[in-house]
Amino acid sequence: MCLSGVVLSLFMMILRARGLLLMSSKGVRRSGAIPLRSQAIEEEIDPGRIAGLEIVKYPHPALRAQNEEISDPKSAAPLAKRMLQLMYEANGVGLAAPQVGINLRLMVFNPEGKKERWLDEVVLVNPKIVEKSDGVDRDIEGCLSFPDMNGTVERHKWIKVEALSPKGKTIKKKYTGWTARIFQHEFDHLDGTVYIDRLNQEDRATVQPKLNALVNAFSHDGLEPAL
């Protein structure tokens, strides 16, 4: 084999090794959210209280409560801005209002997960899915409300959604792949569904000890845990 061939082979081996490292990393990028992606993966953190908000953890009842539609989309803009601040500090890619203890149908996300890429920010008021693919993908997801846990979740490959912007304008979008997965994860939160509800039996058994620990440690001024 010529020298250039040797160099190329070594380069490919390094790339493959790096890919394996990323896929086996504990740092699953989270959204309220979120799924594993083999690029720019950072480990999620709990930043505490940011912009007057903090991420509630399972089994906080806000994660299972009914979420009300927002009658005045413009009123959601300040909250959405604060949610984005908190999301970035937590190294997340998405966040839904119930995850900060506010039961409204509001979500924010940025598929890039970087505040420097603010043009990629998405704020959706009263979103709904109007069409979805028959085909599905399976990938690893984590959630900021479920620290240090992840598991394989099945999602539709693409979805068509309708929502309102904080200015009250109608939004119609088709999301695919990574962005579709982020949306579906956050949309689940608006329906009181959390990612562990979608785990298979094996993955659920794996995270159950950590879930039990969260339940045992739960204490919020007399609030009853919502499993």
**91 φψ region: left (φ > 0), alpha (ψ -120 to 50), beta (else):** left
Label residues 27-62 b or e (16+ Cβ within 10 Å = b).
ebbbbbbbbbbeeebeebeebeebeebbbbbbbbbb
The DSSP element (H or E) to which 39 belongs, if any, is none
Identify whether 186 is a catalytic site residue. Answer: yes
C-beta of residue 182 within 8 angstroms of C-beta of residue 33? yes
For the record, the structure tokens of 126 come out as 């009263």
68, 186, 202, 224: which one is catalytic? 186
Q: What is the 3-state secondary structure (H, E, C) of 125-186?
A: EEEEEEEECCCEEEEEEEECCEEEEEEEEEEECEEEEEEECCCCCEEEEEEEHHHHHHHHHH
Nearest to 127 by CA among 81, 184, 74, 177: 184
What's the CA gap between 142 and 222, in Å, rounded?
A: 28
C-beta of residue 111 within 8 angstroms of C-beta of residue 94? no
What's the CA gap between 40 and 21, in Å, rounded?
A: 12
For the record, the structure tokens of 46 come out as 């709990």
Catalytically active residues are 186
